[in-house]
Amino acid sequence: MEGIPFKEGLFTWPLSPGEQAFLLGNQCKACRKIYFPKAALCPECLKEDALEDIKLRPRGKLYTYTVVRVPSPGFKVPYAFGYIDLPEGVRICCQISAAEPEKLKLGMDMELIIGQVREEAGKPILGYLFRPVKG
């Protein structure tokens, strides 16, 4: 896929065709809390040097969403935007890839993809999105 990640280090990139993408977070070895994006020190127990990098599970459930119909520069409307709850107890805020946003249902199973989130000077800017799991 062509494009530039909107920020380095948030997800596995580049990917081979068909390769599963992962969000990159970290986990505190002392209190086991998981963070995305990565925390510099654990805000829960304030321990430094206790954080280790992990890949988050690429599936979750749709917690809530909204459909954006008013365009901002670089964004194509309508698009959905919402929160996905991962099994690790992390809530991810991101765009939602859905051909028919009206078919989204709270609590439905969602999967991570890397795709275009906006455009800048005619170039695709990539980010992480979730979409409904097929079938």
Residue ranges that bind Zn ion, judged by CB under 5 A: 28, 30-31, 42, 44-45
Angle at CA 68, nearest 5°, toward 65 and 74? 125
Shortest Cβ 46–Zn ion spacing (Å): 7
Q: What is the largest CA-CA distance in the chain?
A: 46
Q: Which is nearer to Zn ion, 42 or 86 (CB)?
A: 42
Q: Which is nearer to Zn ion, 45 or 133 (CB)?
A: 45
Enclosing H/E stretch for 47: none
DSSP state letter for 44: T
The Cα 53–Cα 60 span in angstroms is: 20
Shortest Cβ 12–Zn ion spacing (Å): 24
Distances (CA, A) of 95 to 47, 116, 126: 32, 10, 11
Shortest Cβ 94–Zn ion spacing (Å): 25
Shortest Cβ 34–Zn ion spacing (Å): 10
Q: Which is nearer to Zn ion, 30 or 68 (CB)?
A: 30
Q: Which is nearer to Zn ion, 42 or 62 (CB)?
A: 42
| Preceding peptide of 17 cis, ω within 30° | no
Task: Say which residue the tokens 């890397």 belong to.
Answer: 114
